[in-house]
Amino acid sequence: MPPPNMTSLVLLFIILSALASMGSDSVAEAIAVNWGTKASHPLPPAKVVELLKSNNITKVKLFDADPLVLQALSGSNIAVTVGIPNSMLKTFNSSMKAARSWVHDNVTRYFSSSGGTGVRIEYVAVGDEPFLVSYGEQFRPFAIGAVINIQTALTKANLAGDVKVVVPCSFDTFQSESSLPSKGHFRPELNKTMIELLAFLSKCHSPFFVTISPFISFRSNKNISLDFALFKETARSHNDSHKKYKNSFDLSYDTLVTALSAVGFPEMDIVVAQIGWPTDGAVNAISSTAETFMNGLIDHLHTKSGTPLRPRKPPLETYIFSLLDEDQRSTATGNFERHWGVFTFDGQAKYHLNFGQNAKILVNAQNVEYLPSRWCVVNNNKDLSNATASALEACSSADCSALSPGGSCYNLSWPGNISYAFNSYYQQHDQTPSSCNFGGLGLITTVDPSVNNCRFSVELRISHSTSLHGSYLFQLMILLTANAFVCIFIFT
């Protein structure tokens, strides 16, 4: 064959450069978000989809299969993970019919492999961290059976080639008593279940979905410094034999890699299903720190350097937790749980972040509709001897997490904190006049009582029937005790 001419060489160089460029973008494309909907007044799904698209977010993980959300995602070409709540695992474990019905109603009905007018469903997440330590044996016995039945249902629907089944696992699924990655292992009581799950995932070529939480690791482990959690170059390294760890993320990730290897799955692909940093409700949960963490994480992922145990092999995908704040999330772990959002509940960016697009300035939700500019505050002209009891009652069903130690409203003096509690209750109940009564102690005002970083919110305009999810009352009963305990501290 004759040697290639200069034109052919130039053409070959252009093609190779284009392919290299495509490869360099793959990590950016693999940075996605979790979209949770546990909010009393959620941003309308269509607005959220606009928010995702305007910020070039191409992948999203849901915690359920809300029809309104899936309808809003139809035609968006956004890759979607739909979720099955833990409460459904027992049913799907025992009933193939129920599994097939769910797949038909929540996957087949919306699915489109190319987006088109349908939804690009990539994964079905069976359960939401069902192996969390605090759940005990509540969901674990049913997880594998549910996984198998959902997979079978997808196969019968001719979707098994397009939609993969996964189980999101909590950060406490794996551990290392010495905090060294080389000593990583799954919790002993989970070994059998994890081997069964990993065998299933391996057979179906599905990745292992896991939460990594440097924030919680920092709070619970005295050996983890804030700088180490935030990817700071000044952080003291942690050494494990000949491996050097410069940040908390790599330390946790390689602890999982060792745990996978220990049960016979050293090459299992990993998806970081949840990772983030909260911005309120606890010490060190502030926007500036979250910004440092998030940009440190994304910069680290963009280097494609991987970790000491998996060099040049970063996570397959990484889902930021979370897109929006959710004022109905459980606070069992801490009041920071309601403040994971990169955006506030109304879709306004809290800090600068580069999701992979060129600009670091996020685009806010547009044309958001709010309730009128009215707030409920304490009437200082009344006898306030019973005000604390009224505030405790308000916080038992409203969101007072910002009043927690370290929170944005923690420094509010009495009775400013009483007013905050009253307003939270008032907004959550759509500003109905009766919701600002509190035995005559409440007063409706048009003057914004916000102080410095403490924001007295005005809720979104949305119908009450839409704003309160079906599980809200059940969640409320669970939260009453925890919130009451926190509030006793806040108002004394």
Give which of 422, 401, 256, 429 is closest to 341, Cα–Cα: 401
Alpha carbons 230 and 248: distance in angstroms, whole number? 8
Q: 482: Cβ–Cβ under 8 A, 6 or more apart, which residues? A: 330, 331, 332
Which pair of tokens denotes residue 485? 């305990």
Q: 439: Cβ–Cβ under 8 A, 6 or more apart, which residues? A: 386, 390
Please give the angle made by the CA atoms of 41, 42 and 48, to the nearest 5 degrees: 155
Alpha carbons 17 and 11: distance in angstroms, whole number? 10
Alpha carbons 147 and 135: distance in angstroms, whole number? 18
- Burial label for 303, CB within 10 Å (0-12, 13-18, 19+), is exposed
260-293 burial, b at 16+ Cβ within 10 Å, e below that, comes to bebbebeebebbbbbbbbbbbbbebbbbebbbbb
Give which of 391, 345, 406 is closest to 483, Cα–Cα: 391
Residue 129 annotated among the catalytic residues of the structure: yes
Q: Point out the catalytic residue in the list 50, 129, 337, 459.
A: 129
- DSSP one-letter string for 260-306: HHHTT-TT--EEEEEE----SSSTT-SHHHHHHHHHHHHHHHHTT-B
Alpha carbons 317 and 300: distance in angstroms, whole number? 13
Q: Which residues are catalytic?
A: 129
